[in-house]
Amino acid sequence: AASRHIATSRQINRLKKRTIGECVAPCRPPHRYHS
């Protein structure tokens, strides 16, 4: 469970970075998802 949680956390962090880095401009209009 611990190792799995760590892996998931890492994946989430990576996904967050990708979203922030790549989906900044394209994800600007549909900002309702973040609300």
Per-residue pLDDT of the chain (35 residues; tens, 9 = 90+): 566 666 687 777 776 666 555 555 555 665 555 54
**Rounded distance, CA 18 to CA 21, Å?**
5
* pLDDT score at 35: 46
Closest CA to 23 of 9, 10, 35, 33: 33
pTM over 0.75: no
Q: Maximum Cα–Cα distance for the chain, whole Å? A: 38
- What's the number of domains the chain is made of? 1
Question: Contact at 8 Å (CB) between 19 and 28?
Answer: no
* pLDDT score at 8: 80
| Residue 26 belongs to domain spanning | 2-33
**Rounded distance, CA 18 to CA 28, Å?**
15
